[in-house]
Amino acid sequence: MKQTNNDSSEKKSCRGWIVPLLIVAANAAAIVVRWSSLQELMPAHFDLQGNAGGTMPRTMLVLYPLISAAICLIAYLIAKRKKRLQTGLIILVSGIALVVLLSTMVTLTAGKMPVFMLAEPVILVAAVVACIVCIAKSKS
């Protein structure tokens, strides 16, 4: 059976979503690998000196990749309806998933790696700007 152009473009458009899904998978993997060594109550909300401003149960870490996956799914469903937004949404969702991964890494390293905290706003701003540029280009 011969593949139609529509099927081919559908497969191509799905391939772009591999990047954010890999980031979500890396987030889940980081948690799984460290799970047995984590305390039941973990320090959280670190400042740049690595001081914790609060605590959270380790089970809250499970929400990080779940939230990223939910954001990916919502963006995918939007992109499926609005094809011209797809590239911008993939970039934005990848950036958000990466920021969530960095938040996980901050928690897993108990705030001892401030580079993760510093990278969060930079990546998020870059992803938002890239998304806006992609959407603006698709409209012209």
Q: Would you tell me how many other CB atoms lie within 10 Å of the CB of residue 26?
A: 16
At residue 122, does pLDDT exceed 80?
Answer: yes
CB atoms within 10 A of CB 89: 23
pLDDT the model gives residue 139: 76
Backbone angles phi, psi at 3, to 5 degrees: -80, 135
| Coil vs helix vs strand at 57 | strand
CB count, 10 Å around CB of 63? 12
Q: What is the pLDDT of residues 18-65, one digit of tens each?
A: 999 999 999 999 999 999 999 999 988 888 788 888 999 999 999 999
The overall pTM is greater than 0.75: yes
